[in-house]
Amino acid sequence: MTTVRVLDREGAGAAVDAVFDGLSAQSRYLRFHAPMPRLTASMRRQLTDLDGWQRAAVVAECGQRAVGIARLAATSGGCAEMAVAVVDRWQRKGVGTRLITALGNLAVELDYSALTGDILHENLAMMALVRRAFPGARLEPTEDEVVRVTYPLTFTLTHEELVADLRW
């Protein structure tokens, strides 16, 4: 059984290390969009630099061991970019769904208007996860072999949509 909680700066290093160590070369490639045989010091600093608002994360744990992390980083216009990693042994067991759902809830609490992210086109499992966890998310292919995900966190209707709903 896993638990999911907001990750703080003090626990970030151990969690990032545990999750990275539990990823295969292929999982690392899918997460970082490049071969990543080891976690560089600068990348580790970036992943553990959490301030709870512009850079925040949730962690899934089994006992005291981190088995997944979902992270958000503020971009512009009230949006935040998201990223998810689940150790190989825990993939396809609901951990990713719990993480991305918790990250969406955290983003709402932090008053973000949308979550965005880039998924490599071959990462079909991540695209399926996004579709399950975020119904209504837009997935759009880009020219650089990624699929851009946009998930609005606020619900708004245009005048035309409202009138159409009233006619229905």
136: helix, coil or strand? coil
Domain that holds residue 114: 3-167
**What pLDDT, on the 0 to 100 scale, is given for residue 164?**
61
- Pairwise CA distance, residues 112 & 78, whole Å: 5
Count of domains for the chain: 1
pLDDT at 159 over 90: no
CATH number of domain containing 20? 3.40.630.30
Q: Is the distance from CB of 106 to CB of 53 less than 8 angstroms? A: no
pLDDT at 20 over 80: yes
* Element spanning 44, H or E: helix 41-48
Give ∠ CA 46-10-92 in degrees, rounded to 5. Answer: 70
What average pLDDT does this structure show over 91-101?
A: 96
Q: What is the pLDDT of residues 26-46, one digit of tens each?
A: 999 999 999 999 999 999 999
Q: What is the pLDDT of residues 106-154, one digit of tens each?
A: 999 999 999 999 999 999 999 999 999 998 899 999 988 899 999 999 8
Phi-psi region of 116 (alpha: psi -120 to 50; beta: other; left: phi over 0): beta
What average pLDDT does this structure show over 75-88?
A: 96
Q: Which of 84, 66, 60 is nearest to 22 (CA)?
A: 66
pTM for this prediction: 0.89
What average pLDDT does this structure show over 78-102?
A: 97
Say if strands 114-120 and 79-86 run parallel, antiparallel, or are unpaired. Answer: parallel
**What pLDDT, on the 0 to 100 scale, is given for residue 157?**
55
Q: How confident is the model at residue 167 (pLDDT cuts 50, 70, 90)?
A: low
**What pLDDT, on the 0 to 100 scale, is given for residue 38?**
96
Tokens of residue 78, six digits: 């009230």
Mean pLDDT over the full length of the chain = 93
Distances, alpha carbon 22 to alpha carbons 7, 27, 38, 59, 95, in Å: 18, 9, 12, 14, 14
- Rounded to a whole number of angstroms, the distance between the first and last alpha carbons of the chain is 45
